[in-house]
Chains A and B, each alone.
Chain A
């Protein structure tokens, strides 16, 4: 149980393109989803937290107009990187939890984004 699916797994596109990444909880209701970014040989950096039906809470330094997050249902959250540039190239990972109890986050498989 507690499976999170993330698509696409790999994206290569030109600078200026907008890229949408989907994160789905397959067998549970994801009341809260998290979006992380990870640069090579570094740890996870939380970008934003989203609760179903609410606006996402962004971490300091993360541009909300550049990284659009939508969590319209209990099973789907999307991250759109708008007008992506080479410096946005990174490994993006989503995770999800259900309810308010302390619990491990269940991670998607990640999306490797490469902007040329």
Chain B
């Protein structure tokens, strides 16, 4: 079966750095997406990785290792507004998106 694993919840301090991991087992691979979802709102796109390595976009970076079936989202200089759920989603060989359950990130002052 297809599976996406990410931690259920994480806590970090304002101004710090946090890394949210995602491991996956899917039928084929056509890229991995990270989305941010605030409570009661729709997801917003953060990043897309299809090749190995690190993609940096401002305070957010996303890393991919296809051989390990592993990705992480790195958030720097955390702000209170970063409190949200972060969803990892993998596109399989049929171009279907397989969604992880999401990681709820709690930022404390």
Contact = CB atoms under 8 A, between A and B. Distances in A.
A51 to B, nearest CB: 13
B44 A44 contact: no
A69 B97 CA distance: 20
Contact of A43 (B40, B91, B100): B100
Given A43-B87, A102-B91, A104-B33, A109 B41 contact: yes
Interface residues of A, number: 19
B97 A107 contact: no
A37 to B, nearest CB: 12
Interface in A30-84: 41-46
A19 to B, nearest CB: 18
Interface residues of B, number: 21
B51 to A, nearest CB: 13
A112 interface: yes
Contact of A109 (B42, B97, B104): B42
Contacts of A46: 97, 99
A42 B42 contact: no
B44 to A, nearest CB: 7
A105 interface: yes
A44 B87 contact: yes
A93 B104 CA distance: 19
